Amino acid sequence: MAVEPRSVLVPVLLMLSVTHHCNTLESAGLIERVRQGKRILVRRTTRGAGPVELFT
């Protein structure tokens, strides 16, 4: 199932927290980040889909 990227506006104070969590998830192989111009798209990897399936 393909997930459509969504633009999310995050208050500046939360940006560091989001970056920290994305770094952790990326280092665990659960997400990947792809730069497209000024945007950075975040996608689940195949490995990251497993935990999501457990909770849905």
pLDDT score at 55: 81
Which parts of the chain fold into alpha helices (H)?
12-27, 46-54
pLDDT in tens, 1-56: 555 555 555 566 677 788 889 999 999 999 999 999 989 899 999 998 888 788 87
pLDDT score at 13: 62
Q: Could you give the angle at the alpha carbon of 23 between the alpha carbons of 20 and 50, nearest 5°? A: 115
pLDDT score at 18: 83
* CA 32 – CA 13 distance, rounded (Å): 23
Q: Give the position of tokens 């770094």.
A: 23
pLDDT score at 33: 93
* 8 Å CB contact between 30 and 51: yes
